[in-house]
Structure 1
Amino acid sequence: MPNSLRMGAALALTALCASVVAQPRQSPGETSVSVGLTGLNQFNTRIVDGGSFNWQDASANVNVTKQFTSAFSAGVSARYNYQNWSWSDPQAFGGQAPWTAISTPALGMNFGYSPSPEWRFGFAPTVEWSGETGTGTGGTATYGAVMSVARTFSKDLTLGVGAGVFRQIDETKVFPYLLVNWNITDKLRLGNSLPAGPAGGAGLELSYALTEQWSIAGGGAYRSYRFRLNENSPVANGIGQNSFVPVFARLSYAIDRTTRIDLYAAATTAGRLSATDSSGTTQYSTNYQTGFAMALSLSKRF
């Protein structure tokens, strides 16, 4: 599962229960470490009510998980995400850029419990601080947890359900999602495309192994995230929000058994931007046309 893909905090957020369930069980005492680096470019995208925007995204993450017993595992994770937005005549926001640079550091934990080889439960609390440059950490926190349960029916099929509950700055968000790990054939697999987290559920992707090293895939998910605006924003100390449905294609190359490069091309559909003032009144809200993005990700397991 492409844990390092980051569509702006939207294809973003550290791997939580979706990856906990999907990973094979380790031997007691073993510790696994994974790191990821990702760069993304959202090309110029038209705003329905006038103007356009583009943004670039860079992120880094590290995850450490230890199998304490045959049934119980626990881990910690850290991530830093940075977005840089550029605007052209944003008439939908009164002709002013509603935000520019957004920083999102995050910390998380994950717990897995398998009372039997067939069943696995996951719980992953996380907290992140998402705000425009200059806001500090006050009033920027998003916190909550993802919970999941999955059952392995055979060596080729694991199914489950999960739910996320998060307080996104000043709004509580609850979402259910499906967990799928289905090896339809030796080469064809249906699984979760993204890690579940504050921005949304795990999504789905269908992947095909071209060779032992090369694979292709296609999938999608729903993403939505909020961030605090600084005092120089046209909506001073307010809240920005970006919601969309990324539909993507992936080309992956396994350098070795623990190192992988993923190239993504994505259409960002059903996009919507909004800015809410500090009293909770929505000052601006507009849709944007389908955009195009590309991302390159490098992930490594130890």
Structure 2
Amino acid sequence: MRRALTILFLMAASFAAGQTNEAPRFSFPRWGPSIKAGSVYNFTTDIEGGGSFAVNRYFVEAGLARLWRFDRMVSVSAGYGQDDYRFSGLGTDPWNNIDNFRVGLFARWALDEQWVLFAGPSVRSYGEAGTDLDDALVGTFFGGASYRFSDRLTLGPGFMVAGQIEDSTRYFPVLLVNWNLTEKLSLETGGGFAATAGPGLSMVYDFSKHWKFAVTARYEKKRFRLNGTGFAKNGVGEDRNVPIIGNIGYFFYPGGHVSAVIGYDFAGKISAEGADGLKLYENDYDSSLMAGLVTSFRF
């Protein structure tokens, strides 16, 4: 926890990474490097059938963006994160540290004053420490378009294709939205902590020039390759839940952001499959509290 909070306080990730056509509130250079990082701690929760676990999640990501103007840009990024699971009362732990590596490309391109296109392919690796990188690789693609109906409303269709380790590829629609309900309150498509299974929906309140409050909900499903030491040797682990996250962010200008996050995970389930695909373990777990810090800086 102490290591995570130290890493977290120094760096972390932007909370509203998935905004649609909203103009940035600071100017970008033509080429702009960035750094993101963060850590969130999921407090101990009980597993149905016995045992408990806690998770310390952290990540760091570096990127480089080429901007022609705010609505025409291309960026590349590479990042690393770890989910440090700590089980107790199970006899044999299903898994321990899950490493994830990611490289990605993102493009946002305005066709005119109303239409903007988005595309974001990435390659990711989710695997327990000790697994081969190529055994844990998956590909993901996000694409879509948004239409600016007015100064207050931008909507558009999107879709996401997410590869799954030893499972069928997931296809699901995404609604791109930026709706200014009032001068300070807006409903937005928002990004998640590090690399999640897809964007969520955020209610955002601009308290002042520097302070922003937000609440985000999403569905998360993570599948990862297991190593050859646990009871599901060389199999696949899975952790899925529905987090609802509150965010209090302070924005430095021209390009800094630090936020405190606190939230709750609901409808949690963990499972493990053997190398032959047979289910060896599956149990629900209780709702759990999460808390941490996230931040990002552009240079």
TM-score > 0.5, shorter chain as reference: yes
1:259 aligns with one of 256, 259, 266: 256
Distance 2:129 2:92 in 1: 17
Cα distance per residue 1:108-164 (max 9 Å; x no partner): 011223221211111111001110011121310011211111111122221112111
Tell me if structure 2 keeps the 8 A contact 1:145–1:165: yes
Q: Structure 1 residue 211 and structure 2 residue 205: aligned?
A: no
Residues 1:147 and 1:273: Cα distance change in structure 2 (over 3 Å): same
Read off the aligned partner of 2:136 and give its amino acid letter. T
Q: CA RMSD, aligned part only? A: 2.7
Q: Corresponding residue for 2:23?
A: 24
Say if 2:175 is the partner of 1:178: yes
- The aligned counterpart of 2:103 is 107
Amino acid at match of 2:244: V
Unaligned runs of 5+ in 1: 1-11
Matches of 1:30 and 1:83 in 2, distance apart?
35
* Equivalent position amino acid for 2:202 in 1: E
Q: Secondary structure at the match of 2:82?
A: strand
Q: Distance in 1 between matches of 2:194 and 2:60?
A: 16
CA contact (8 A) 2:17 2:191 kept: no
In structure 2, the partner of 1:3 is none
The residue identity in structure 2 corresponding to 1:153 is F
- Amino acid in the other structure paired with 2:23: P
Task: Name the counterpart of 1:146.
Answer: 142
Distance in 1, matches of 2:201 and 2:162, equals 21
Which residue of the partner structure matches residue 5 of structure 2?
none
Structure 2 partner of 1:59? 59
Matched with 1:291 is 288
Runs of 4+ in 1 over 4 A off after TM superposition: 12-17, 25-29, 68-72, 195-198
Of 222, 233, 241 in structure 1, the residue corresponding to residue 219 of structure 2 is 222
SS in 2 for 1:190: strand
Cα deviation, 1:74-127, whole Å, max 9, x if unaligned, reads: 22111111121111113xxxx310000111010001122322121111111100
TM-score by length of 2: 0.87
Which aligned pairs between 1:1-302 and structure 2 lie closer than 5 A?
A: 18-19=18-19, 21-22=20-21, 24=23, 30-67=30-67, 73-90=73-90, 95-171=91-167, 172-195=169-192, 199-302=196-299
CA–CA distance in 1 between the matches of 2:13 and 2:140?
Answer: 13
**Separation of aligned partners in 1, 2:279 and 2:17:** 33
Q: Give percent identity, aligned residues only.
A: 28
| SS of corresponding position for 1:106 | strand
In the TM superposition, what whole-angstrom CA distance separates every residue of 1:195-224 from its partner, at most 9, and x where no partner exists? 599742211111212222222221211111
| Other structure's SS at 1:139 match | helix
In 2, Cα distance between equivalents of 1:209 and 1:110: 26
Q: Output the amino acid matched with 2:58.
A: A
1:138 counterpart SS class: helix
Distance (Å, rounded) in 2 between the aligned partners of 1:97 and 1:288: 15
Change (3 A) 1:175 1:28: same
Whole-angstrom CA distance in 2 between matches of 1:111 and 1:138: 26
In 2, are the aligned partners of 1:166 and 1:198 still within 8 Å (CA)? no
- Length-normalised TM-score, structure 1: 0.86
- Kindly tell me the number of residue pairs found equivalent between the two proteins: 286
| Aligned equivalents of 1:230, 1:136: Cα separation in 2 | 8
Greater CA deviation, 99-108 or 68-77? 68-77
